[in-house]
Chain A
Amino acid sequence: MKFIKKMIATLVLLPALALAGEGYPLDHAPDRANNMAALQNGAKLFVNYCLNCHAAASMRYSRLKDIGLTEDQIRGNLLLASDKVGDLMTTRLSVKDAKAWFGAAPPDLSVIARAKASESGTGPDWLYTYLRSYYKDDSRPTGWNNMVFPNVGMPHALWELQGVRGAEFEEVEDEHDHSKKTLEFKKFTTITPGKLTTAEYDSEVGDLVAYLNWMGEPEQGTRKRLGVWVLLWMSMLSLLAWRLNASYWKEVK
């Protein structure tokens, strides 16, 4: 066992070989996975602001019952008159139009919160920072750019809420090549204020991201709740198996 210990001791040094993450630092998304009001508000924002261009084709509207909405609430508030409660969350935007307008079809958002996880943060962290990092950039075809996703194809869908912001950059000497200058982000500036204050906007995005995270795996709550019981049961079983085994082995001399 000493030899295993030595090996483990050496291996904990491995992460020293990792590089520090680069890029725009991610903020922590608030954890609202069990906050039904937040999830419902997030669902409303999602249907109103995202679903016009993005689909979530793995997701049925009726699944929203899991976050406490009734079928009538879904039909009355979140559906177009022609849709059924059991329908999938598809989008009216055609791929052809999307390519003409944005250069690419907007990605399906069913599992976007799971797809954006990286060493820099969780998927929700990425989304939470991304949706709060848009700025006006006239050099882009849409007039928008983003700190987390440079040269993003999507315009700022939530601009009415957040308002229009600009970004200030500063010329600094390149670390590696002193003859060159690089642009370093300094701060966001307000050009036109939105409907919401910064704190209100952050909270709305927090709700939206909580919803996207829930939609990425609607069973996650069940999974964790059930997991507690499964672990308790398995632990008890292993306790029994341990004593049963001991009762057989005590006769082996």
Chain B
Amino acid sequence: MAFVEKKLPADAPVIDKALNWVDARFPLTKLWNDQWGQYYAPKNFNFWYIFGSLAMLVLVIQIVTGIFLVMHYKPDGGMAFASVEYIMREVPWGWLVRYMHSTGASAFFIIIYLHMARALMYGSYRKPRELVWLFGFAIFLCLMAEAFFGYLLPWGQMSYWGAQVIVNLFGAIPVIGPDLSLWIRGDYVVSDATLNRFFSFHVIAIPLVLLGLVVAHLIALHEVGSNNPDGIEIKDNLDADGHPVDGVPSHPYYTFHDIFGVTVFLVLFTAVVFFAPEMGGYFLEANNFVPADSLKTPLHIAPTWYFTPFYSILRATTSDFLYIVQGGIAAYVVLIYLKSSLPSLIKAVIAAIGLVMIVGMLPFGLDAKFWGVVLFGSSVMILAGMPWLDQSPVKSIRYRPNWHKTVMIIFGIAFVTLGYLGVEPPSPIRNLVSQVCAVLYFAFFLLMPWWSAMGTFKPVPKRVTFKPH
């Protein structure tokens, strides 16, 4: 096909001519229209739909502040801690850049957790949005890796011992474990070698993957279209022009809607940055103002708050708790056999995995630490299964039986309680509470194929619920 360039009149504005020149060579206008300008989004978005844009904003904040931090930070075991204080004191506006980055890390997780809670409430991961969810899940994994690697860099006591504890978890894997954790650290203890490789992962490897996944997440979303609080497909009702009747073009409607959301977020964000950058020890821990010391183990080592729900599950897995887990697995296999319509091969595979786990948890099998790591990993990975675990005939919580809301509230409480207990030092009563919450956490997901389909569902309207502003 011959190259054809649209002819504009000779007196057309220069900017139009330039755009025309580019569009003939690169689909700039088309990209803008497909991804935003002419992307029709449901008009009934509520409060919960701001977090996607906010996550983008925080990603940009983290990248820009990160670039400036790297200009002054020294990834060297002997200099790292002092170089952070150098940024805080001697680099012009360094304190602001550093606080934006440290506050941004926590803000990112708050936003992502709320973003995921939204998906849970309105069934945003359901067909045809399974890939949107899976890309998002991969972004969540990257974010956790990014936060973990980045947390070592200030080279304080909490950085150091937090990394030591987490890398040691790999040592619980049978046979290869000790060598694996040695390989990850690059030394027998967390050291300069570890700091250098974590720095490399934090500033280039993970961000590259993260950015690619964000692009994939957005392309997938804009391909299938956004879900909405009513959980109905706006593409089922098109007007004469082929646009959804219940949709509005993202630009200008959601452009200005999101700008408003961004300004409200920035009020909260700057309030923390300028008035409470340590956030009572949750965003910047006191112990991290003590330089890393490989000879002084702190009394109480806790990961940063955003990892603690999962960390609590790890800590809850004591050898006594394994009996409960064994019982749970046995009951689950029976449930699969009696109450599911899965192909018999899959049932057999599940039964075999269950049997291996039950035997492995026996006193002569692998120790509780290993199973703690398995449950810790599973508690994160299980999120990927949401599109297939949820069997509810409607997407949105609005049209599900009222008791489904109660189930979700209980899950939310269990999740936050696990998070809270993860930052506190352990005690027998706290351990018991976290075990109960761990059971609730897994029951919520594993029993979802059954409970999500039970009860009386409300009729789903044909059009979205929308009250003009």
Contacts and interface: CB of A to CB of B under 8 A. Distances in A.
Interface in A48-62: 57-60
A234 B89 contact: no
A37 interface: no
A138 B96 CA distance: 48
A230 B289 contact: no
B1 to A, nearest CB: 40
A218 B89 contact: yes
B409 A234 contact: no
A226 B408 contact: no
A217 B95 contact: yes
Interface string B410-450: 00110011001100100101100100000000000000000
Given A7-B409, A238-B264, A219 B88 contact: yes
Interface in A165-203: none
Interface string A210-237: 0000001111000110110011001101
Nearest to B433: A17
A80 interface: no
Contact of A230 (B85, B95, B252, B274): B274
B289 A252 contact: no
A234 B270 contact: yes
Contact of A224 (B256, B274, B409, B427): B274
A224 B275 contact: yes
B290 A107 contact: yes
Contacts of B413: 7, 10-11
Interface residues of B, number: 51
B330 interface: no
A70 interface: no
Given A17-B421, A18-B424, A248-B253, A241 B405 contact: no
A118 interface: yes
B350 interface: no
Nearest to A116: B286
A217 B95 CA distance: 9
Nearest to B397: A3
Contacts of B281: 117-118
B349 to A, nearest CB: 37
Looking at chain A, what size class is its interface with the partner chain?
35 or more
A7 B420 CA distance: 15
Given A244-B256, A248-B253, A249-B257, A7 B286 contact: no
B454 to A, nearest CB: 19
Given A115-B286, A123-B286, A238 B267 contact: yes
B76 interface: no
A19 interface: yes
B267 A19 contact: no
Contacts of B248: 252
B287 interface: yes
B134 to A, nearest CB: 27
A252 B277 CA distance: 40
Contact of B89 (A63, A231, A249): A63
Interface in A14-37: 14, 17-19
Query: Is chain B's interface secondary structure helix, strand, loop, or mixed overall?
Result: helix
B469 interface: yes
A217 B96 CA distance: 12
Nearest to A113: B289
A245 B409 contact: no
A241 B88 contact: no
B286 A117 contact: yes
Contact of B469 (A17, A115, A118, A250): A250
B412 to A, nearest CB: 5
Contacts of B468: 249-250, 252-253
A27 B290 CA distance: 23
A241 B95 contact: no
Given A111-B289, A223-B95, A245 B270 contact: no
Given A11-B416, A238-B264, A238-B267, A17 B424 contact: yes
A114 B278 contact: yes
B270 A238 contact: no
Nearest to B83: A58
A188 to B, nearest CB: 27
Given A117-B281, A234-B270, A3 B409 contact: yes
Contact of A245 (B256, B266, B287): B256
B86 A58 contact: yes
Contacts of B266: 234, 237-238
B259 interface: yes
A6 interface: yes
B286 A114 contact: yes
A81 interface: no
A137 interface: no
Nearest to B280: A117
A218 B408 CA distance: 46
Given A59-B89, A248-B256, A241 B263 contact: yes
A252 B86 contact: no
A249 B253 contact: yes
Given A3-B408, A58-B85, A115-B286, A245 B417 contact: no
B277 to A, nearest CB: 8
B85 A111 contact: yes
5 contacts: A223-B274, A227-B274, A237-B263, A238-B266, A252-B468
In the complex, the 5 A-B pairs of residues with the closest C-beta atoms, listed nearest first = A227-B274, A238-B263, A115-B289, A58-B85, A117-B286
Interface of A: 3, 6-7, 10-11, 14, 17-19, 57-60, 63, 107-108, 110-112, 114-118, 123, 216-219, 223-224, 226-227, 230-231, 234-235, 237-238, 241-242, 244-246, 248-250, 252-253
Given A10-B413, A248-B253, 15 more contacts: A7-B412, A14-B417, A17-B433, A112-B289, A117-B278, A217-B88, A217-B95, A223-B96, A227-B273, A231-B274, A238-B264, A249-B468, A249-B469, A252-B43, A252-B253
